[in-house]
């Protein structure tokens, strides 16, 4: 749904598949520009992580427009995905048939209709090569509208079009695992340490602060990365 969700709740899943040699693609479905972190970076709100307010003129950068903010978030996403084993050419914006020219061209919020369109477009894109691919997204019961919309869309497609969407899984925030009936995503013992470290390093990409290079640590201004940092397992619904 947003830049950082892939690392926060499915980083270990992505890394495991990449290490197994599978072709993993990450699709961003919203622009992520509504995050409150923009006000923090622009000096308009206090940041607990930063420990106070930013002062852009003193720190050598201009306040970020919505478009600049969205693009900066996606740079973090691409860097994080590389740490998870997904190269930049497999990180996509929106639909497979009509990809968004820039991150800012993606919608600000995710509706069930838009989520369905994106999922169907990628299933059609891969159909000539594979009759079915695995689809992973956030849980339909998540308390964030965008997360829930993607999860609900995949759940409906899984029921209505099992030939294309039979292999469907939903990743769940640790605090919601009981409500979701989610289980721990198991890691192969031989590669578990490497997978956990890959997810940890993906998280580090969201704390890079170098405004002149277009890096604003947006992820760390926005949410806690305690899970990836500490190696908390991913939680999953779906066999």
Domain extents in the chain: 5-114+185-237
CB 13 within 8 A of CB 234: yes
Q: How far is CA 96 from CA 29, 146, 207, 218, in A?
A: 11, 19, 30, 27
Task: Give residue 180's pLDDT.
Answer: 98
Q: How far apart are the first and last CA of the chain?
A: 22
Q: State mean pLDDT over 44-68.
A: 96
Q: State mean pLDDT over 136-163.
A: 97
Task: Give residue 229's pLDDT.
Answer: 96
Could you tell me which residues come within 8 angstroms of residue 34 by beta carbon, excluding any fewer than 6 positions away?
108, 109
Per-residue pLDDT reduced to its tens digit, 173-204:
999 999 999 999 999 999 999 999 999 999 99
Give CA–CA dist 234/7, Å, rounded.
Answer: 10
pLDDT category, 239, cuts 50, 70, 90? low
Q: State mean pLDDT over 112-133.
A: 94
Residue 47 scores a pLDDT above 90: yes
What is the DSSP pairing of strand 26-28 with strand 91-93? parallel
Give CA–CA dist 206/145, Å, rounded.
Answer: 23
Q: Among residues of the chain, what percentage have pLDDT more than 90?
A: 97
Task: Give residue 132's pLDDT.
Answer: 77
Could you tell me which residues come within 8 angstroms of residue 148 by beta carbon, excluding any fewer than 6 positions away?
138, 139, 140, 141, 142
Beta carbons within 10 angstroms of residue 208's beta carbon: 17
């Amino acid at each position: 749904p947003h830049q950082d969700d892939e690392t926060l709740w499915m980083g270990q899943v992505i890394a495991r598949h990449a290490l197994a040699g599978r072709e993993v693609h990450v699709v961003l479905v919203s622009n992520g520009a509504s995050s409150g972190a923009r006000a923090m970076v622009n000096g308009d709100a206090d940041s607990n992580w930063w420990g106070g307010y930013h002062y852009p003129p003193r720190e050598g950068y201009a306040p970020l427009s919505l478009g600049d903010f969205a693009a900066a978030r996606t740079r973090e996403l691409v860097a994080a995905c590389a740490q998870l084993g997904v190269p930049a050419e497999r990180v996509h914006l929106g639909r497979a048939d009509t990809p968004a020219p820039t991150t800012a061209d993606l919608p600000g919020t995710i509706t069930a209709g838009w989520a369905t369109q994106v999922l169907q477009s990628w299933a059609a894109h891969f159909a000539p090569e594979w009759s079915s691919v695995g689809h992973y997204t956030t849980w339909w019961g998540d308390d964030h509208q965008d997360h829930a919309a993607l999860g609900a869309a995949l759940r409906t497609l899984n029921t209505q079009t099992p030939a294309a969407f039979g292999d469907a899984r939903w990743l769940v925030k640790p605090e919601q695992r009981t409500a979701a009936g989610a289980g721990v995503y198991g890691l192969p013992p031989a590669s578990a340490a490497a997978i956990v470290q890959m997810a940890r390093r993906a998280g580090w990409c969201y704390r890079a602060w170098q405004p002149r290079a277009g890096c604003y640590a947006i992820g760390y201004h926005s949410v806690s990365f305690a899970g990836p940092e500490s190696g908390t397992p991913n939680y999953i619904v779906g066999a």
